[in-house]
Chains A and B, each alone.
Chain A
Amino acid sequence: MSAGAAPITVPPIDLDAAITASFWGRAIRDTFRNVGACIGLVWIVLLIIVAVLTPLLANTEPLIVKVNGKISWPMLRYLTPTDVILFILAAAVLIAAAFRRVSMGRRAMAVGAVLLITIPLAYIFVHPPVTVDWQEYRDLARAGRIQYELMAPLPYSANDYQRDDPSQVLQPPSRAHPLGTEANGGDVLSRMIHATRIALSIGLVSTGIAVIIGVAIGGLMGYFVGRIDILGMRLIEIFEAIPTLFLLITFVAFFGRSLMLIMVIIGLTTWTLEARFIRAEFLRLRKQDFVQAAIAGGLPLRSILFRHLLPNGIAPILVTSSFSIASAILLETYLSFLGLGPVDAPSWGQMLNQLLGVAGTFVWWIAIYPGLAIFLTVFAYNLLGEALRDALDPKLSR
């Protein structure tokens, strides 16, 4: 029976590929082994998709319309420069992600270049109408003059208040308004969709500012030590003594309720944590043999700082910054809840603000849905931060 035994074939194990991964490759892989991190990432990616596609998801203006035999795209006419920039940026990121053979740094630079070119061009060439006639196409439809129209899935823009129509005000969730309406007739889901942009940008931009300042100051402190370190430490202590929320309220009172101002102030007052972390990392790394070896090899300061210290010391910053993003989102929410958030732009906190009296009564759909969105977003960033910390800390992960 065993005369013609087939040779045993062992499937080749790709051990090489399993351990070839770079430091960051391993860190990312370890991070997303964590279920919580995956859930967090799914939620944040979902928010990003919604934020990019906002005008296609919730819009009073039809995407395509045929009136009197003429086809037009009203949605395109009403696109803002922000919409255009986000579309192009998303496209650039997707294209860059497809070129897997090009190095990560080069792809990031290409996306950055696209962004730098797009921003001024978008502001020069894209001019949506200043006043919007929300009723234009609804009236045409009612008059029966529209032969064909393709609407967004949710046919209401965020600022499309229908307060003149009492049947649309403070409605509980229904087929027309999946998450109900507000006191002035705004669709809750539409406003929540439009608010994702603020929720994402407030966290990313303010933390981005904080990381840049914190890494620059903390890095200099950690590498040069001595007098620079002492001065930097006093600076950190001064900034840590500033109560961010009260500073924000004061600035908003004097300089108006601008989203940019809020982001900059949050960034300028929260960099100290990042600075402390990067300082500690640089202090540890500058004594390490590979840094000493790099100096002994005659490498210039630029290379020591940006190739040897920064990539090895940035990991804790990623962890703190995901927590910083979460707390920046909460800060904006507090501010909006107090009625001091960005004017006119819908935000989750500002929707909660309606519960303070505008609605006149407790309205559960206005309380629960925006509240849930805030909770999930903050939770998602915290989950990501925790998983990153576990992945990057060899003592905890092994």
Chain B
Amino acid sequence: MRWTPSSADNVMAQPLLELRGLRIAFDTDRGQIQPVQAVSFSIFPGQAMALVGESGCGKSVTALSILRLIPSPPGKVLDGQVLLQGRDLLQLSEKQMRSVRGKDIAMIFQEPMTSLNPVFTVGEQIVEAVKLHQRVDTRHARQIAEQAMHDVGIADPDKRLDEYPHRLSGGMRQRVMIAMALSCQPRLLIADEPTTALDVTIQAQILELLRNLRQERGMSILLITHDLGVVAGNADAVAVMYASKVVEYATVFDLFDSPQHPYTEGLFRAIPRLGRPGGRLATIAGTVPSPRRFPSGCKFHPRCPRMNGDPLCAQTEPALREVMPGHWAACHHVQGFAAKPITQPTIDFRRPAVPPVVEATQ
């Protein structure tokens, strides 16, 4: 199925990255599993898009497959496209792909403690990355590295460049990883749970850093997280994944104001609130299904409070439909669901920059 731009598309900006019906399979000893099924979303220049979901829902596999980092075998792409400004990354040769990695799309990982090579200094590692993607000599590359270290808020960057990773703290190493990613000026930064391994204050600093860098450079960010607080504070658009599929996709405001999918509703109920009388925290009944034994029909139906024995839920898997303009969801029990159109999910929305708080002067 070829995608043809309609007149409406011409008016809108072109998305930087677009996933169309991505389906990924892994061959295992006990048959094939599909941790990512028909995943579609888009990221626009300067946009922060959050991919949310529980562990094992396929969000990391989705991110890795954008850079084609899925080990193959056993992994393979069954179907779908990953379009970077209209160019399908899945069709590129490995050599072409290498020039995309790091240069157009950079990635930072969850665990900063192990993301740096222990036998080389921080500077040597950044310089290597810079020299790879930009035709500069070592001295110039070092200046770029120093600037990048400065930009991510590392004091005394000249000195820090000559340090080995084991001398840096976790937050510092994550900053170095971000500096390394930024030094090649990518257009998209994939951040796979960038703050999960850090403590809360460092987490806030790193997120603020990412927010500032995005605003200054117009870089897009794909933020992978399971932390709805992080999503609320940073994302423009949100895709909620459950058991290999995107079940809801909307702007951050639409999603938090009027969640359409029962899974998203369940997630919000499970957030502890300050100042609300105690009692047990609401949970979603049941457990996340294993990719080996996905339920039939809607994958959420065994845990769904809306189902009420509806045979449709157990038999037919709902597609991701545009239930409201600019708001996609996949649930039979959304009002008038069957009549809603199936469209390529794109949300060209950036939240307004928060104006700095100014104290009122008398």
Contacts and interface: CB of A to CB of B under 8 A. Distances in A.
A20 interface: yes
Nearest to B165: A290
A7 interface: no
A336 B73 CA distance: 51
B116 A290 contact: yes
A153 interface: no
B315 interface: no
B91 interface: no
B119 A311 contact: yes
Nearest to B183: A297
B114 A288 contact: yes
A211 to B, nearest CB: 18
B44 interface: no
B132 A293 contact: no
A24 B177 CA distance: 23
Contacts of A22: 119, 121, 164
A226 B101 CA distance: 25
A290 B133 CA distance: 18
B128 A299 contact: yes
A53 interface: no
Given A20-B163, A311-B119, A297 B180 contact: yes
A292 B115 CA distance: 8
A289 B167 contact: no
Interface-central residue, A21, A288, A290, A312, by most chain B CB under 10 Å: A290
Interface in B51-109: 67, 69, 73, 98-103, 106-109
Contact of A289 (B98, B109, B132, B180): B109
B119 A20 contact: no
Interface string A292-323: 11111111100100011001100000000000
A375 interface: no
B106 to A, nearest CB: 7
A307 B69 contact: no
Contacts of B118: 23, 290, 312
B118 to A, nearest CB: 5
B117 A307 contact: yes
Contact of A23 (B69, B164, B180): B164
B107 A289 contact: no
A3 interface: no
B164 A293 contact: no
A117 interface: no
B117 A308 contact: yes
Contacts of A116: none
B129 interface: yes
Contacts of B111: 289
A294 B132 contact: no
Nearest to A300: B98
Interface string B123-166: 00000110011000000000000000000000000000001101
A102 interface: no
B20 to A, nearest CB: 22
B120 interface: yes
A312 B109 contact: no
A297 B164 contact: no
Given A20-B167, A23-B119, A24-B119, A298 B132 contact: yes
Q: Report the contact-size class of chain B (Cβ under 8 Å from the partner).
A: 35 or more
Interface in A242-296: 288-290, 292-296
Contacts of B115: 289-290, 293
Given A19-B167, A293-B107, A297-B102, A303 B128 contact: yes
A308 B120 CA distance: 9
Contacts, number: 80
Given A226-B73, A312-B119, A296 B101 contact: yes
Interface residues of A, number: 24
A296 B107 contact: yes
A238 to B, nearest CB: 26
Nearest to A299: B132
A290 B129 CA distance: 13
A94 B1 CA distance: 70
Contacts of B133: 298
Contacts of B119: 22-24, 311-312
Interface string A93-117: 0000000000000000000000000
Contacts of A295: 69, 101
Contact of B109 (A19, A20, A293): A293
Contacts of B69: 292, 295-296
A20 B164 CA distance: 7
A261 B114 CA distance: 45
A101 to B, nearest CB: 14
B132 A292 contact: no
B73 A297 contact: no
Contacts of A300: 98, 132
Contact of B117 (A24, A226, A296, A312): A312
Interface in A1-38: 19-24
Contacts of A297: 101-102, 106-107, 129, 132, 180-181, 184
Nearest to A287: B71
Interface in A220-253: 226
Contacts of A24: 119
Contacts of A21: 164
A332 to B, nearest CB: 34
A21 B163 CA distance: 9
A278 to B, nearest CB: 15
A296 B110 CA distance: 13
A143 B164 CA distance: 70
A22 B165 CA distance: 9
B99 A298 contact: yes
Interface string B4-16: 0000000000000
A300 B181 CA distance: 16
Nearest to B114: A289
Interface string B194-223: 000000000000000000000000000000
Interface of A: 19-24, 226, 288-290, 292-300, 303, 307-308, 311-312
30 contacts: A22-B121, A23-B119, A24-B119, A226-B73, A288-B114, A289-B111, A289-B114, A292-B109, A293-B109, A293-B115, A293-B116, A293-B177, A294-B117, A296-B101, A296-B102, A296-B106, A296-B107, A297-B106, A297-B132, A297-B181, A298-B132, A299-B129, A299-B132, A300-B98, A300-B132, A303-B132, A307-B117, A307-B120, A307-B128, A311-B119
Closest 4 CB pairs of A and B: A298-B101, A298-B102, A297-B102, A296-B107
Interface of B: 67, 69, 73, 98-103, 106-111, 114-121, 128-129, 132-133, 163-164, 166-167, 177, 180-181, 184
